[in-house]
Structure 1
Amino acid sequence: MNPHSIDTEQQPFVLIWEVTQACELECKHCRADAQPDRHPDELTTEEGIALLEDAADFGEGQLVVLSGGDPLAREDLVELVEYGTELGLRMTLTPSGTASLTPAVIDDLADAGLKRLAVSLDGATATAHDEFRGEEGSFESTMAAARHARDAGIPLQLNTTVCEETVEELPALADLAEELETVLWSVFFLVPIGRGRILEPIDPARADRVMEWLLEQANERTFGVKTTEAPQYRRVAIQQHSGGSVDTVDSDDRDGIGRRVGIRAGDGFAFVSHLGQVYPSGFLPEPAGSVREERIVDIYRDAPLFERLRDEDQFKGKCGACEFKHVCGGSRSRAYAYTGDPLESDPLCPYVPEGYDGPLPLETFAIPEEPV
Structure 2
Amino acid sequence: MSRAIRTPRHSVAERPFIVIWETTRACPLACHHCRASAQPDRDPRELDAADARALMLQIAEFGRPAPLFVITGGDPFQREDLNELISYGTSLGLRIAVSPSGTPTLTRANLAAVRDAGAVALSLSVDGSDAARHDAFRGVDGVFQWTIDAWRAARELGLKVQINTTLTRHSLDDLADIAALVRREGAMLWSGFLLVPTGRGADLDALTPQEVEDSLHFLYDCGSVIATKTTEAHHFRRVVLQRTLHDQCGTRPALGPLHRRLTARAAAPLRRAPPRRPQAAHGRVVGTRLRLRLPHG
Question: For this structure pair, what is the TM-score category when the shorter chain's length is used for normalisation?
Answer: 0.7 to 0.9
- Indicate whether 1:196 and 2:210 are aligned: no
* 1:32-43 equivalences in 2 (<5 Å): 32-43=36-47
SS at match of 2:176: helix
How far does the alpha carbon of each residue in 1:17-49 deviate from its partner, in whole angstroms, 9 at most, with x for none? 111000000100001000110011211111111
Residue-pair matches, total? 249
In the alignment, which residue of structure 2 is the partner of 1:54? 58
* 1:1-372 equivalences in 2 (<5 Å): 4-60=8-64, 61-219=66-224, 221=225, 223-243=226-246, 257=279
Q: 1:214 to 1:241 in 2, by over 3 A?
A: same
Kindly state the Cα deviation for residue 50 of structure 1 after the two structures are TM-superposed: 1.4
Kindly state the Cα deviation for residue 232 of structure 1 after the two structures are TM-superposed: 1.2
Contact 1:107–1:152 at 8 Å: present in 2 too?
A: yes
How far does the alpha carbon of each residue in 1:237-258 deviate from its partner, in whole angstroms, 9 at most, with x for none? 111102599xxxxxxxxxx956
Please report the RMSD computed on the Cα atoms of aligned residues, expressed in angstroms.
1.9
Kindly state the Cα deviation for residue 201 of structure 1 after the two structures are TM-superposed: 2.6
Task: Measure, in 2, the Cα distance between the counterparts of 1:195 and 1:132.
Answer: 12
Task: Measure, in 2, the Cα distance between the counterparts of 1:101 and 1:65.
Answer: 17
Task: Measure, in 2, the Cα distance between the counterparts of 1:176 and 1:188.
Answer: 17
Task: Measure, in 2, the Cα distance between the counterparts of 1:42 and 1:191.
Answer: 22
2:213 counterpart letter in structure 1: D
In the alignment, which residue of structure 2 is the partner of 1:362? none
1:81 counterpart letter in structure 2: I
SS at match of 1:135: coil
How far does the alpha carbon of each residue in 1:122-150 deviate from its partner, in whole angstroms, 9 at most, with x for none? 00110100000001111111111111001
Task: List gaps (5 residues or longer) in structure 1.
Answer: 246-255, 263-372
Task: List gaps (5 residues or longer) in structure 2.
Answer: 1-5, 249-277, 285-297
1:13 counterpart letter in structure 2: F
Kindly state the Cα deviation for residue 112 of structure 1 after the two structures are TM-superposed: 1.2
How far does the alpha carbon of each residue in 1:41-82 deviate from its partner, in whole angstroms, 9 at most, with x for none? 211111111111111111223210001000000000011111
Q: 1:145 to 1:157 in 2, by over 3 A?
A: same
2:215 counterpart letter in structure 1: V
SS at match of 2:200: helix
Task: Measure, in 2, the Cα distance between the counterparts of 1:145 and 1:105.
Answer: 10
In the alignment, which residue of structure 1 is the partner of 2:273? none
Kindly state the Cα deviation for residue 207 of structure 1 after the two structures are TM-superposed: 1.4
Q: 1:138 to 1:13 in 2, by over 3 A?
A: same
Contact 1:162–1:201 at 8 Å: present in 2 too?
A: no
In the alignment, which residue of structure 2 is the partner of 1:284? none
SS at match of 1:119: strand
Kindly state the Cα deviation for residue 83 of structure 1 after the two structures are TM-superposed: 1.3
Kindly state the Cα deviation for residue 191 of structure 1 after the two structures are TM-superposed: 2.2
Contact 1:165–1:200 at 8 Å: present in 2 too?
A: no
Kindly state the Cα deviation for residue 4 of structure 1 after the two structures are TM-superposed: 3.5
Sequence identity of aligned pairs in percent?
41
Task: Measure, in 1, the Cα distance between the counterparts of 2:8 and 2:109.
Answer: 37
Kindly state the Cα deviation for residue 213 of structure 1 after the two structures are TM-superposed: 1.3
2:181 counterpart letter in structure 1: L
